[in-house]
Structures are given as structure tokens and as C-alpha cells.
Structure 1
């Protein structure tokens, strides 16, 4: 009986850990528009953990216009702090002015980020204000060179167990 209970617990933990914690879907199906690749959380799937790191990956396709600003709207129970690192696919840091206004994070790039770049945005020391369950949404929008409007580029769904 004890052995069966241990096996069942091990199987349940294996299944829970192997399920993805986040889902991302970009709003445009076109290959010439920046889109979200994924959002990861570390540590992942721990319901009562308060301080986390959220890493957002965003692709700017070769056919796209350069991006000069990104806006990230955080979920209601998430506090994003001013400890954000932005880098390209080679790991090179990108000079970015970071402004946080309540739940909105504004990333203003010193130079527009060129097409063909994969951006990695590491939001360190993100704080959960309360334990929650369900799904929380990050809304991402961008400003592109030559277009004077904020364009929604996707929603990232962070699943909270």
C-alpha cells in the first residue's frame, strides 16, 4: 500500500512538472510583424512563491520594421520592479530606458532594434502580491519605426497552479 502511494505521488509530480506553465500566441499571423515566442517563469509552478523571474522572448522578423519601444502590461497580481535586463539572441545587452507606471512597463530603446533580432526581456524580482490560481495575462504592444501608433503584438497567458 505504501509503495503504491509513493509511486502514485511520483507519477503525479512528474506529470505536473512536465506541463508547460505559460502559453503565448501572437495576434497577427503574418511573418512580417513582431510576435511573442514565449514567457517563462522561474521558479515555475510554485503557487506560494512570492519573488519570481519572468523571461519574455520576442521575435522581430526580418521583414518587419525596427522596434523603438515596447509596452508590457502586467497582470493585476504582479508587481514588476525596475530590475529588467534586455538582450539580443547573442546575449548582448541592449541599451534601454525603463519606465514603470503602475502595471505598465515601458521599454524605450536607445537605438531601434533591427529586424531579424530575437529579444530576451528578463524581468527580475517580479513580485506576486497574493497567491492566485487560474491564468494571468500580460498584454504586449510595440511602436515600430515609421508607424506612430501603439500596435498590440500579443497576449501572454501565464498559468498559475
Structure 2
């Protein structure tokens, strides 16, 4: 009886800890447009931590047009810095011009990001001005080659446990 209770408690705690504090969803469920496939906050699950790294993963599918820019709109409780690193699926750095305007980061790619690429965007030393209360979202959009409009590619959501 005691062993069953202990195993149940351990299983319950393991399941509670394994639920991620963040998640991401693409705007369009399509193989023809770029979309957000992941979001990680580091350190994870520490509600009152002030300086963090937020990492977005964005897939540019084979059937998509190339990407020339990404626009990332941060939640109201986040201050972005221009310390942003972009790399592809092989870990190779992607040359990017970064500009920050309030809550918005614009990433202009020196060479367009070709279809079939998965981008990892490390937003280093972002600062939380207040603890996350409720859901806070990063909104991500892209400008594709030959298209002069921002197209939503997904959201990445900070959550409170």
C-alpha cells in the first residue's frame, strides 16, 4: 500500500514537472508558408527570473518562397535587446541585420533564407520587467521574397505554471 502511494506521488510530480512552461503554434497549418515550430525559455519555469534567453524555431518549408525579413513582436513584459543570434539547422550562423523598435525586433537577412531551412533565433539577455502573469505572446511575421506584406507565421506563448 505504501509503495503504491509513493509510486503514484512520484508519477504525479514527474508529469507536473514535464509540462512545458512555453509553447508555440503556427498561424497557418500549411506546407507552403513559413511557420513557428518551437519556443524555449531559458532558464525555464522560474517565474521571477529577470534576464533570460528566448529561442524561437521557424521552419521555411520546401514549397515556400524565400524569406527576406522576420518581425518579432514581444509581449508587454519583455524588453528586447539587439543581442540576437540566428542560425540554420546545421548550426551555421545566418548573417542578419537586427533593429529593435520598442517591443518589435526586425531581422533583415543579408542573403534571403531559402526554402528547406529551419531557423533558430536566440534572443539573448531579454529582460522581464514583471513576472509573467497570465499568457503572454510573441507574435511572429515574415516578409517573403516577392511579397511586400507582413504575413503572420505564428505565436510563441509564455505561460505561468
SS of residue in 1 equivalent to 2:148: coil
Q: Which structure 2 residue ranges, 5 or more long, are not aligned? A: 1-5
Q: What is the correspondence of 1:65-84 to structure 2 with a 5 Å cutoff?
A: 65-84=65-84
Give the direction of change, closer, same or farther, for the CA distance of 1:9–1:134 in structure 2 (3 Å limit).
farther
**Alignment gaps of 5+ in structure 1:** 1-5
> SS of the counterpart of 1:133?
coil
Mapped partners of 1:8, 1:78: distance in 2: 38
- Separation in 2, partners of 1:112, 1:87: 13
Q: Give the TM-score of the pair, scaled to structure 2.
A: 0.90
Distance verdict in 2 for CA 1:10–1:129, change over 3 Å = farther
**RMSD value, Cα:** 1.8
The 5-angstrom pairing of residues 104-119 of structure 1 reads 104-119=104-119
2:120 matches 1:120? yes
Deviation at 1:9, TM superposition (A): 8.4
Q: 1:1-161 maps to which residues of 2 (within 5 A)?
A: 14-161=14-161
Contact 1:136 1:160 in 2 (8 A): no
1:130 CA displacement: 1.0
1:63-92 Cα deviation digits (max 9, x unpaired): 000000000000000011111100000000
Match of 1:31, SS state, is coil
Q: Please give the per-residue CA displacement for 1:14-73, whole angstroms capped at 9, x wherever unaligned.
A: 333200111211111221100000100011010111111100000000000000000000
Task: Name the SS for the 1:16 alignment partner.
Answer: helix
Q: How far did 1:133 drift?
A: 2.1
Question: Is the Cα–Cα contact under 8 Å of residues 76 and 103 in structure 2 kept in the other structure?
Answer: yes
Deviation digits for residues 108-140 of structure 1 (CA, Å, limit 9, x no counterpart): 000100000000000011110012322110000
Partner of 1:3: none
